[in-house]
Amino acid sequence: MSDRTGIFAGEDPFEIARRWMAEAEQTEPNDPNAIALATADADGLPNVRMVLLKEIEDDAFVFYTNYDSVKGQELAGSGKAAFVLHWKSLGRQIRVRGDVSREEGAKADAYYASRSLKSRIGAWASEQSRPLDTRGALMAKVAKITASKGPNPDRPPFWGGFRISPSEIEFWSDGAFRLHDRFKWKRDKYAESWTIVRLNP
């Protein structure tokens, strides 16, 4: 008989993730949607950085970035990624591993349009991850693009979303004396049902 009750209860891992996120939004002081995103380069050397998770869909997790950035290139190269959401205020985390695809359609356009004008201009101006001579050079480029693009710039063709479709999701909650609670949801193919196992701390 399963003892997956309380905060772990439910048959849909994405709904559990949304519920945990909603709780974190009430307790976490800064960026409750910050994820540590892991990728790997062509030699298999890992890379990790913080990005903001923007949506938990019915079957995937979505964030946005510059496709030409290091992370964008590594995601395109491997087609796989992992991330962790950690909420110190709740003593919980969610770990995700899976395949990656681009979100380049209407959803990406809508999210880009929802950002502040300065952020939209910044997406055009920044050649993310590439060498930059001076901050002044960047600000000059921002001014030039502001003048040329106007108050409603289109989404850059090199900027959009990535959707992580997980094969594994692990829910973790802090326990006394390091006796944490951990449940891993796993599926071999995305059309298949999940297998759920309790893990040792």
Q: Calculate Rg over the CA atoms of the chain.
A: 19
Q: Which of 193, 201, 105, 91 is nearest to 155 (CA)?
A: 105
Active site residue 19: no
HEC per residue, 46-99: EEEEEEEEEEECCCCEEEEEECCCHHHHHHHHHCEEEEEEEECCCCEEEEEEEE
d(CA 23, CA 87): 10
Q: Say how far apart CA 80 and CA 40 lie, in whole Å.
A: 9
State the DSSP H helix or E strand holding residue 22, giving kind and residue range, or none if neither. helix 13-27
Q: What single letter denotes the amino acid at residue 39?
A: T
Catalytic residue among 95, 120, 163, 178: 178
Helix axes 106-114, 117-125, angle to 10 degrees: 120
**Residues belonging to the active site:** 178
